[in-house]
Structure 1
Amino acid sequence: MPASVPLIEELSSVLASGSADRRSAVLRRVTDLFLATSTQLGDAQVGLFDDVMERLVDTVERYALVRLGLQLAPIANAPRDTIGRLARHDDIDIARPVLEKSPRVTDALLVEVARSKGQGHLAAIAAREHLSEVVTDIVVERGDIAVTRKITANPGARFSDAGLQTIAVRARGDEELAELFAGRSDVPADLFCEMVRDAGEIVRRRLAASAHPAVRTRLDHAIAAIGDQLVHARLHAHHGPAVRLDSDAIKRRLCEQARNGERGPVVETLAAVADVPAIAVRNLIRQRSDEALLILCKAAGLGWSDAKAVLAVTLGEPDDPRAAFQHYIELTAEAAQRVVRFIKLRKSASRTELDRLM
């Protein structure tokens, strides 16, 4: 590298008595020379450039370091120690390019920076194309909500179970993070169900209205799974109070099950929506009590077409559809709730008892 000889000779003079501008000019020339020859350089030659750059890094103007970081960040064999000094720099405009893109930044260096620097550095790390669990654990632990969203949105980030659990807890109260979390294929179904179960109303509505069909489908599956858990909890009340769910979502699931002819799931979900034990619904089916089932549907707030679908999948089409329709329309919510309270106590109801309650 004959062109490097004058630069190296000039370096000693510049470090001894040169101004910051002159040192910045020398660093620019050294960097340009490295970039022009980097693909032909061996490790030893890269090491020489590293020595020169390191001697200049602490002596030049800020703009020179910003430029240096931008230029070296994408280079596969960039001087390693110089990259390390830039990555550790407190000025995020200097550190950001190498933290985001440099292949010379190791996991150990990322962990060091993530533990010691601020949110800007964490956000830069979160943007890297690939991130291992050892790095994401620290970023998630220390990152604010903006950083958490950014790293959750990164398809190249891998998370430990603990990292995903932390994100799930934060997603309960942040609709944007919840949608990003729902879109990740590495989130276990049980953890997503837990997040949905404990999420706020705004979060669940954001998921239900997501522009991504996969997110909406995953929410539907979670609601169905949680509905089963809810029924189980109500049948074993001594284990604690039932969880509160979005009733509209469970009703949508019930209607879908009825349309698909899923008799078993319809029984369980109807019990959850009407807030009665599943055994009570089974007893009513065994009694062929279409009137009682329609009362449960009314108490659940179903429209006639959905109630008719529930009746069809459990007992078959009514003998007199017009009479059943008229009865359903005239039935009041208050009367339906009275019957529901009775069914909760008795786990069934005869036609005579229904007439008395109505």
Structure 2
Amino acid sequence: MNTSPVLIEELSTVLARGSADRRSEVLRRVTDLFLVGADQFGEDHVALFDDVMEQLVDTVERYALVRLGLQLSNVSNAPVNTIGRLCHHDDITISGPVLERSTRLTDEVLADVARTKSQAHLAAIAAREHLSEVVTDIVVERGDIEVTRKVTANGGARFSETGLRTIATRAHGDEELAEIFAGRTDVPADIFCEMVRNATDIVRRRLAGSAESAVRTRLDHAIAAIGDQLVHARLHKAHGGPSVRLEPDRIKARLCEHARLGQRGPLIEDLAAVADVPVIAVRNIIRQRSEDALLILCKAAGLGWSDARAVLEATLGEPADPRAAFQHYITLGTEVAQRVVRFIKLRKSANRTEIERLM
């Protein structure tokens, strides 16, 4: 601190008559002096440095501000006003390190920058170690897809319901964002289900093929939940409105009865409900005359062989080789059936080649 009086005296001279390079040199020396003793300085001392730095910030060369931002971004008691001026700078090389790392920035300051500055500024904010809902709401609202991916991937970011729903809406058509979104543990099931329900086939395939088992599991749960909702809605509509609610065992019993009576239309509706796949998927399988796929649906529905054979006969006719069909059915694993059903849910159809590949 022995050089402090000299620097303070020199400051008035360089501000009045010094060149930009001269002022940049003084700022460097002031900053170095601050950094040497920062751990011991109280707020009063920090405020003195803040006053000096603020007077220089708008008068120095760009390189000096870049260096200043880098030097102060990791200092826990950095001069608040100086940090505030740096983080608002339009040049992201100057403001970026401060926005990304400085703990001296309040939510109010971050929110102001997020509302008024560029996508590069939003990206820097999105990388902060911790982000509150107040800030992420603005970042998500204004950010482009790259910023949205970045802030969604930030485990230290917290989101409001509004923010999560906004991300879910964008994830409908962006497979990378959808996979990141699926990996977050703070996304409520209803919001995730809504995203999956409205997602493109490309997005669903990306989730189904994710390297993260947690993502695949979550997708399975979402598809099951969506299937239940669709089944209930379909049954309510068919049987007198929302007051009617049929249990799965009753639907299965009715399915077997339709199969024995050869009532193809009602059978298809009930098989879709019990197997938890779209009706159109069952119709496509029958249209393709895919015996294997139909047997897999029967296995997923929990039907015994006699009922499964009745379903085959009512939809595709007598099996070409009843003995082979029987052997295939009794050896068909539940895990295989579930895998194919998940695929059918995503595609709403499946041909023989695809079924064989999954098996």
Shorter-chain TM-score bucket reads 0.7 to 0.9
Structure 1 residue matching 2:38: 3-state secondary structure: helix
CA contact (8 A) 1:304 1:328 kept: no
Q: What's the counterpart of residue 322 of structure 2?
A: 323
Matches within 5 A, 1:217-296: 217-237=217-237, 279=251, 281-285=252-256, 289=260
User: 1:296-353 CA distances to partner (integer Å, 9 max, x unpaired)?
Assistant: 6863956279539718933367899973545899xxxxxxxxxxxxxxxxxxxxxxxx
Structure 2: stretches of 5+ with no match in the other structure: 240-246, 272-281, 310-318, 329-359
CA contact (8 A) 1:284 1:292 kept: no
Gap change, CA 1:85 and 1:217, over 3 Å in 2? same
CA contact (8 A) 2:207 2:219 kept: yes
Equivalent residues, number: 293
Q: What's the counterpart of residue 307 of structure 1?
A: 296
Distance 1:69 1:112 in 2: 19
Q: What's the counterpart of residue 105 of structure 1?
A: 105
Q: What's the counterpart of residue 190 of structure 1?
A: 190
User: 1:177-205 CA distances to partner (integer Å, 9 max, x unpaired)?
Assistant: 10011000010001101100011111101
Structure 1 residue matching 2:39: 3-state secondary structure: helix
Gap change, CA 1:212 and 1:178, over 3 Å in 2? same
Structure 2 residue matching 1:236: 3-state secondary structure: helix
> How big is the shift at 1:284?
3.4
CA contact (8 A) 1:288 1:315 kept: no
Amino acid at match of 2:33: L
> How big is the shift at 1:233?
2.5
CA contact (8 A) 1:87 1:95 kept: yes
Distance 1:56 1:161 in 2: 43
Structure 2 residue matching 1:65: 3-state secondary structure: helix
Distance 2:110 2:64 in 1: 23
TM (norm. structure 2) is: 0.74
Gap change, CA 1:308 and 1:218, over 3 Å in 2? closer
Q: Sequence identity, in percent?
A: 65
Gap change, CA 1:309 and 1:325, over 3 Å in 2? farther
Alignment of 1:71 with 2:71, yes or no, is: yes
Structure 1: stretches of 5+ with no match in the other structure: 240-263, 268-277, 330-358
Matches within 5 A, 1:135-150: 135-150=135-150
CA contact (8 A) 1:126 1:154 kept: yes
CA contact (8 A) 1:99 1:125 kept: yes
Amino acid at match of 2:55: R
TM (norm. structure 1) is: 0.74
Structure 2 residue matching 1:39: 3-state secondary structure: coil
Distance 1:171 1:129 in 2: 23
Distance 1:78 1:311 in 2: 63
User: 1:28-86 CA distances to partner (integer Å, 9 max, x unpaired)?
Assistant: 11111111110011111111110110010000001110110000000000000000000
Gap change, CA 1:290 and 1:315, over 3 Å in 2? farther
User: 1:113-158 CA distances to partner (integer Å, 9 max, x unpaired)?
Assistant: 1111111111111110000001111111111111111100000000
Gap change, CA 1:169 and 1:96, over 3 Å in 2? same
Alignment of 1:45 with 2:34, yes or no, is: no
Q: What's the counterpart of residue 242 of structure 2?
A: none
Q: What's the counterpart of residue 84 of structure 1?
A: 84
Distance 1:73 1:311 in 2: 58
Distance 2:296 2:323 in 1: 10
Distance 1:288 1:125 in 2: 61
Gap change, CA 1:221 and 1:302, over 3 Å in 2? farther
What RMSD, in angstroms, separates the aligned Cα atoms of the two structures?
A: 3.1
> How big is the shift at 1:289?
4.0
Q: What's the counterpart of residue 27 of structure 1?
A: 27
> How big is the shift at 1:285?
2.7
